[in-house]
Amino acid sequence: MAKQERLSSLDAFRGFTIAGMMLVNNPGSWGAIYPQLEHAPWNGWTFTDFIFPFFLWIMGVAMTMSFAGRMERGDSKSAMISQAARRGATLILIGLFLSTFPFGLFGTHFSFATMRIPGVLQRIGVCYFLATLIYLNTTIRGQIAWIVGLLSAYWLMLAFIPVPGFGAGNITPMGSLARYFDTMFLEGHTWRGAPAPGFDPEGVISTLGAVGTTLFGILVGHYLRYQNHSKEEKVCWMFFAGSVLLLAGAVFDMWMPINKNLWTSSYAVFMAGFATCIFGLFYFIIDVKGYKKWATPLIIYGMNAIFVFTLSGIAGRVMGIAKIPVTLGTGEAGWVTLQRLVMDNVLLRIFNPLNASLSWAMLWDLMLFFFAWLMWRKKWFLKV
């Protein structure tokens, strides 16, 4: 099979996704956010709910392109599994670092007894390693079987395993099987902002759905390497496959609601459909028609996505808690965070609260892009 060139469209799609993630993660005020820039409270979806599954789907596509090339060069399976374990562990450790930062500094509270263990990078690391094991030990048919098996098993678990005090099939925040597992295995270490105490949106059994999302990306990666279809044909088939998945997810929603918090099987199918269709559009514009210049900022963002995410996590935490001395309206000296200073004295004087909060998030995205651009110019690409 011929060697595949690097897909600019995949880097651009990754950049679009990480830019979206930074936009929704960094509002000027959590009390003033447009509804589409928040997660759906429980069932349903918003723009924000597209972002994490897109990232896992993209990772699956990239894994296929990378591992297939290494296998053709003769790299051993054990070496690739070992490297995947190191990468997965590194992502988990970075995620735990971000969960605990700033370690009690700046007057914050920190305790190992209550630190959050799950998280975005932790889930990415786990999905990367598990998807690697599946990819390296199965054929395409086997990978399809794993998708069907994982999503069916997870659906049946949520639907038929009874939860003490709530019974079977309860998918409310308090009564879901996912929360029950999280309280058993992660008690005291879940996200404080979750829809129910003891639950975590990156928890234990919902990872089954997330692995399924990654495997959907792996299948598209296989197809992109397929030599018997032209690029134009690949675009058509991606739109077709994505549309079928969207329809299947919408139908599945009647039995198991689309729910990002639970990463339900219907959500995994539905979001894989959206990812396939939107990537198909990127692929058509950039790699088929050759219109690449407009996508350069997204490509720059996408080639250092983990760096951008990590920098944002550290800088965002500092900006929200580190205070500087100012003179208050009363003439007295006081201390405020830099974020509050800019919001109160600049953005809120220009915009209404919603647009001021959005403007801060957009400025944050631009700041992160500046650092990504500097690294791109130096050809520094953070790989884990």
Task: Describe the crossing of helices 265-282 and 140-160 by its angle, rounded to 10 degrees.
Answer: 140
123: helix, coil or strand? helix
Mean of all residue pLDDT scores within the chain: 91
Q: Which two tokens stand for residue 251?
A: 């139908």
Percent composition of the chain: helix, strand, coil (DSSP 3-state, to 5):
65, 5, 30
- pTM of the full predicted structure? 0.93
Q: Is the pLDDT of residue 184 over 60?
A: yes
Q: Is the pLDDT of residue 1 over 60?
A: no
**pLDDT tier, 217 (very low <50, low <70, confident <90, very high otherwise):** very high
Q: Which two tokens stand for residue 228?
A: 């018997």
278/229: higher pLDDT:
278
In percent, how much of the chain has pLDDT > 70?
A: 95
Alpha-carbon gap, residue 313 to 306, rounded angstroms: 11
Per this entry, what is the length of the chain?
384
Query: For the segment 92-102, what is each residue's pLDDT rounded down to a tens digit?
Result: 999 999 988 87
Q: Is the pLDDT of residue 342 over 90?
A: no
Alpha-carbon gap, residue 104 to 94, rounded angstroms: 18
Query: For the segment 53-87, what is each residue's pLDDT rounded down to a tens digit?
Result: 999 999 999 999 999 888 888 888 999 999 999 99
Cα of 324 vs its chain's centroid, Å: 33
**pLDDT of res. 2:** 44
**pLDDT tier, 277 (very low <50, low <70, confident <90, very high otherwise):** very high
For 12, other C-beta atoms within 10 Å of its C-beta total: 27
**pLDDT tier, 6 (very low <50, low <70, confident <90, very high otherwise):** confident
**pLDDT of res. 114:** 82
In percent, how much of the chain has pLDDT > 90?
A: 75
**pLDDT tier, 107 (very low <50, low <70, confident <90, very high otherwise):** low
